[in-house]
Structure 1
Amino acid sequence: MRKPKVKSRKAKIQRRESEVNEIKLLEEWIESGKPDCGINPLSVEPLPDKAPVGRLADGSFSRYTGCTRFSQLPLSKKTQDGLALSKYKTMTDIQRASLPHALCGRDILGAAKTGSGKTLAFIIPVLEKLYKARWGPEDGVGCIIMSPTRELADQLFEVLKSVGKYHGFSACVLIGGRKDIDSEKEHVNGMNILICTPGRLLQHMDETPNFDCSQLQVLVLDEADRILDVGFKTQLNAIISQLPKHRQTLLFSATQTKSVKDLARLSLKDPEYLSVHEESTTATPSGLMQTAIIVPLHQKLDMLWSFIKKHLNKKILVFLSSCKQVKFVYEAFRKLRPGVPLKCLHGRMKLEKRIGIYSQFREEKRSVLFSTDVASRGLDFNKAVDWVVQVDCPEDCATYIHRVGRTARYLSGGKSLLFVMPSEMKMLEKLREKKIPLQVTKAKAEFLQSVSGLMAALLVKYHDLQPLARRAFATYLKSIYKHKDKEIFDVTKLPVEEFSASLGLPMTPKIRFLKQKIKGKTVSEALSVMPENITNENLLELPIKNPNPEKSEEEVEDEDDILLSKDTQNAGEAKTAEAVDALPASRVLKKKKLKINVHRPLGTRVVFDEEGNTLPPLAKLAETKVSADSVHLDKNKVNERYAKMRQELKLMDKEDKALDRQRLKEKRIKEKIKWKRGRDEEEGEEEDEDDLLGSDANVGRERAKKQKIYFDSDGERDDDSFKTSIKADSVSVAEQEELALKLLSSMHS
């Protein structure tokens, strides 16, 4: 029985020695081929696929800067096996550029297009760093990977499990919304790798006993520009203050920050800035076909419904501004039944439901997911998304890049559609400045199906939809109001009456965050806050050119015939009045306010008799004597009528007072009955208490009462005879003496 133990002990010793030798070999290899600081490995001539790898015959090591395959990198056998199991062979541009620097222990600022493989660019250095440090469970937290959203954190954990399958590191996901935080507190101190959101990590730092990050080796920020944003500023500052400064920091995002303040907060030391697509002709994936369509605000739902009906066999991701909009559009379209599975995803949902919906949408081939920007960053859907539809214009160009990045992942293709209102045409110019090619089109009127009337019917049939519609209306306007770029997003230019009618609302809700109430006209007409130098003239007179002239119009597929096949180069000739079409039949708007003349004369009512002659207003109250000149009233008749009315009012007043007295009397009687009933109940309870307490309590209660003296009427004491009670303090002294003598005489006899 002891021999197997000896063998297992020997096997462990041999495995440990082999790991030590492997780590020594890897460190020598990395040190020998370390790239110079500031050099982009993409500029180095790539190695051939069949080039020798590792230690060469002359004792030197092969070059790994500029390699194109994972097998050519100085990685441990466990990592190589995990990559082979996950079928990762060839490196992407961001991986080729960052891995040679990251394996040397340098800080990285990595920027690359969406879907370019940034996750492996920091997962591999994390595994190798802890492996070469021989990190174990007793060493505690060695790496923290922060993500801005829960879904992205869960996705990172899946990649870590697949690539690091043969490593013995412990890892966990710390995200908000879970109820088992107590179990997390028990195990978090024994974890080596933490994948978390900033809020949950800070909660453990504040509440978990003995939570220690003093030995941290690597800090990773995925979607770094979002985490460094104002929304996570306070949380991130509190986290960084508790981390050691001597560590490796890796920052990756599609839109990387270069702010000196942000880099100073993270204590970066000579970071390598690697933007692999900075000199690219486009900032978005090359396989992405991008289209923008001019849609007035009140026709957005009509256009979205028509688009979904035209692409029932596609996988579509729809972006809206707020959670309330997502919920309303999802519930309304679900009741209209377009013929394709519908789902919604927003930040107000519970964690389990969010992850469930995300997983279902990943596996489906045809579906529509309505979402906020919670699904705009980092998420990689298993089966490719065919269309990304942005119903509401993104806040900035970075948000646009992240949204459209959910399709056309890696080498696959995809399509995107952006709804642009006439007041947001300036966004097209800013997108082109960021190397984003957009083909601007207009909708075909024959394919546009109006659903505004159906919305109004739904709000009447389903009462729970109307408050959702009101909140969706308010939250959209509030989102536009809060956007920083007022050159594009100006709430004073929105036709709010038409927009509320398109949602099916019978009346326009009040907008609290605006200074004045909106009645009947657009906000720009109702408010005086609009600057004088901003006018509605020439809003659409923008030179719109074809951003990608290499593509011909024939490349547009037949399924996209809902959009015009021809580019709208002369879209500037369109006017704002042409963009705003007729309103739906759900309600009729008042274009003009009712004007009331406050200076009009008063008391000009005219009364006519049966013959059509004019009479004074009070002529009906008395008989009239019509003369040729004027009409006179009989004052005596009027006085008699007034006297009669006074008598009637007096009688009515007496009757009312009598009824009031009777009502009060009945009320008092009822109160007395109620009080007496309650007193009887209390006496009954006291008797029950006496029975329970015994005779001693009765004796004490009798002593507490005032004593009375009883005397017989004829001088003889008899219990059955008539007795009169006289209080001692109410009888004079002489009478008391006389009574005492009578009592004594009766006792002697």
Structure 2
Amino acid sequence: MPFSSLGLSPDLLKVLSNQSFTDPTPIQESAIPAILNKKDILGIAKTGSGKTASYVLPLLMNLQAASALRNRHVNVLVLVPTRELAEQVKEVFHTFSRGLSVPVKTLAVYGGVSINPQMTSLQGVNVLVATPGRLLELVDSNAVHLSSIETLVLDEADKMLNLGFKEEVDKIIALLPEKRQNILLSATLSADLQQIHQVLLHDPMVIKIESQEDSIEQINQVAYIVSDEKKGPFLRYLINHHEMKQVLIFASSVKTADAVVNKLRKNNFDAKAIHSKKSQGARKEALYLFKSGKLRILVATDLMGRGIDIDQLPFVINYELPRSPKDYVHRIGRTGRAGNAGEAISLVNTDELHHFEVIQKKMGKQVKLIDSESVK
């Protein structure tokens, strides 16, 4: 089914063609016509399934016919859990709004940076992408008004609730007009999400895209048994041996991420870390450099990894195993995307072998386990 059959305008179809988008993903096929018809949506699909475009495209089209609102009264509110996702969603709106006959102004707001420029930039905004805490600060300052919201989107709602934003989200919902369109998107359907969906959504269209576990069938997985003290040298060996030009490395803590980067840089590897303790400017720069191929190695924590979507990322390395099997699948799912092959490598110490067995059982896939001492 081509995009032209989903009810999108010629302007948007032209933008899609210029961006080399050909066929919609399953969630886009279902969500776009429903959102165009102002239906409430509950969409459950993994990261990388095209969820963002599934609501951005129809909302841009609906905004073409929307009536003008008073200044600082926005039409569409998108709530997200992290700064990185806020920037990512904003960029998707910018990409697809180029060339539209009616201009659409999108702004991303989040904490960790000065609030004053955001307050100034809110003039004339149609689409506001926000983290909950910063949005409430802006509301308290009378910098933005939510009484005219026509559509509310909760993107990565599962992560938002897991990070403890429920109280803030409840406060925001209380400020919105009762009559509005609601779109709730998530990778999983947890008990908390069930509860908020029952309160928030009215006769929703439920779209559940069966998980392909981030297309892990495309990913060649291998694990090496290696002691913690030898992980650093072995990591450098792997990068050199495989001639990795672009590799995303996952660490389980900010401290480890920084330590890995420092050791790599001391050994003349081009590397940067991205985690919650870095300034927003530093995180944005590192992500830009990595995505554009100007940075060879990016070391990330799990939360920051959710904003890293690269179609042709060849390598992911788990320097440490995550606590959750779901996080493991999410990590390795950064590679092997959009039909491309990928390589996922895990460094496992002997104390983690049982946990790694649990991960494999939950994933439903055995991973080749090699003693690192046998490969050099």
Query: TM-score, with normalisation over the residues of structure 2?
Result: 0.89
Please report how far the alpha carbon of residue 436 of structure 1 lies from its aligned counterpart in structure 2 after TM superposition. Answer: 4.5
Is residue 2:339 matched to residue 1:404? no
- Quote the RMSD (CA, aligned, Å): 2.5
Partner of 1:273: 206
Please report how far the alpha carbon of residue 440 of structure 1 lies from its aligned counterpart in structure 2 after TM superposition. Answer: 2.9
For residue 165 of structure 2, give the secondary structure of its aligned residue in structure 1.
helix
Alignment of 1:557-636 (within 5 A): none
Please report how far the alpha carbon of residue 189 of structure 1 lies from its aligned counterpart in structure 2 after TM superposition. Answer: 5.0
Please report how far the alpha carbon of residue 137 of structure 1 lies from its aligned counterpart in structure 2 after TM superposition. Answer: 6.0
Please report how far the alpha carbon of residue 90 of structure 1 lies from its aligned counterpart in structure 2 after TM superposition. Answer: 1.0
Partner of 2:249: 318
Taking only the aligned residue pairs, the percentage that are identical comes to 31
Query: Which of 145, 158, 165 is the aligned partner of 2:78?
Result: 145
Query: Which of 203, 213, 229 is the aligned partner of 2:162?
Result: 229
1:169/1:221 CA distance change after superposition, 3 Å = same
1:227/1:73 CA distance change after superposition, 3 Å = same
Partner of 1:342: 271
Is residue 2:258 matched to residue 1:327? yes
Please report how far the alpha carbon of residue 222 of structure 1 lies from its aligned counterpart in structure 2 after TM superposition. Answer: 2.0
Is residue 2:58 matched to residue 1:125? yes
Partner of 1:71: 4
Please report how far the alpha carbon of residue 422 of structure 1 lies from its aligned counterpart in structure 2 after TM superposition. Answer: 3.2
Partner of 1:380: 309
Contact 1:342–1:368 (CA<8 Å) still a contact in 2? yes
Query: Which of 89, 92, 110 is the aligned partner of 1:175?
Result: 110
Which is higher, the Rg of structure 1 or of structure 2?
1
Q: Using the alignment, how far apart are the partners of 1:366 and 1:108 within structure 2?
A: 38
Partner of 1:442: 370
Contact 1:224–1:256 (CA<8 Å) still a contact in 2? no
Would you say how many aligned residue pairs link Structure 1 and Structure 2?
Answer: 373
Partner of 1:427: 355
For residue 144 of structure 1, give the secondary structure of its aligned residue in structure 2.
strand
1:71/1:139 CA distance change after superposition, 3 Å = farther
Please report how far the alpha carbon of residue 130 of structure 1 lies from its aligned counterpart in structure 2 after TM superposition. Answer: 2.3
Is residue 2:185 matched to residue 1:185? no
Partner of 2:235: 304
Please report how far the alpha carbon of residue 335 of structure 1 lies from its aligned counterpart in structure 2 after TM superposition. Answer: 1.1
1:172/1:139 CA distance change after superposition, 3 Å = closer
Q: Using the alignment, how far apart are the partners of 1:300 and 1:273 within structure 2?
A: 45
Please report how far the alpha carbon of residue 433 of structure 1 lies from its aligned counterpart in structure 2 after TM superposition. Answer: 4.7
The one-letter code matched in structure 1 to 2:103 is: G
Query: Which of 268, 284, 291 is the aligned partner of 1:355?
Result: 284
The one-letter code matched in structure 2 to 1:169 is: V
Q: Using the alignment, how far apart are the partners of 2:138 and 2:242 within structure 1?
A: 46
Please report how far the alpha carbon of residue 174 of structure 1 lies from its aligned counterpart in structure 2 after TM superposition. Answer: 0.9
Q: Using the alignment, how far apart are the partners of 1:411 and 1:107 within structure 2?
A: 31
Structure with higher strand content: 2
Please report how far the alpha carbon of residue 225 of structure 1 lies from its aligned counterpart in structure 2 after TM superposition. Answer: 0.8
Please report how far the alpha carbon of residue 258 of structure 1 lies from its aligned counterpart in structure 2 after TM superposition. Answer: 5.2
Q: Using the alignment, how far apart are the partners of 2:70 and 2:43 within structure 1?
A: 30
Please report how far the alpha carbon of residue 359 of structure 1 lies from its aligned counterpart in structure 2 after TM superposition. Answer: 0.7
Please report how far the alpha carbon of residue 348 of structure 1 lies from its aligned counterpart in structure 2 after TM superposition. Answer: 1.1
1:343/1:139 CA distance change after superposition, 3 Å = closer
Alignment of 1:24-39 (within 5 A): none
Please report how far the alpha carbon of residue 429 of structure 1 lies from its aligned counterpart in structure 2 after TM superposition. Answer: 4.5
Contact 2:316–2:332 (CA<8 Å) still a contact in 1? yes
- 1:555-588 Cα distance to aligned partner (Å, 9 max, x none): xxxxxxxxxxxxxxxxxxxxxxxxxxxxxxxxxx
Please report how far the alpha carbon of residue 216 of structure 1 lies from its aligned counterpart in structure 2 after TM superposition. Answer: 0.8
1:251/1:378 CA distance change after superposition, 3 Å = farther
1:230/1:346 CA distance change after superposition, 3 Å = closer
Please report how far the alpha carbon of residue 250 of structure 1 lies from its aligned counterpart in structure 2 after TM superposition. Answer: 1.7
Q: Using the alignment, how far apart are the partners of 1:78 and 1:137 within structure 2?
A: 26
Please report how far the alpha carbon of residue 80 of structure 1 lies from its aligned counterpart in structure 2 after TM superposition. Answer: 2.4
Q: Which runs of 5+ in 2 are unaligned?
A: none
Alignment of 1:38-49 (within 5 A): none
For residue 145 of structure 1, give the secondary structure of its aligned residue in structure 2.
strand
Q: Using the alignment, how far apart are the partners of 2:274 and 2:30 within structure 1?
A: 35
Please report how far the alpha carbon of residue 132 of structure 1 lies from its aligned counterpart in structure 2 after TM superposition. Answer: 3.4
Q: Using the alignment, how far apart are the partners of 2:342 and 2:208 within structure 1?
A: 23
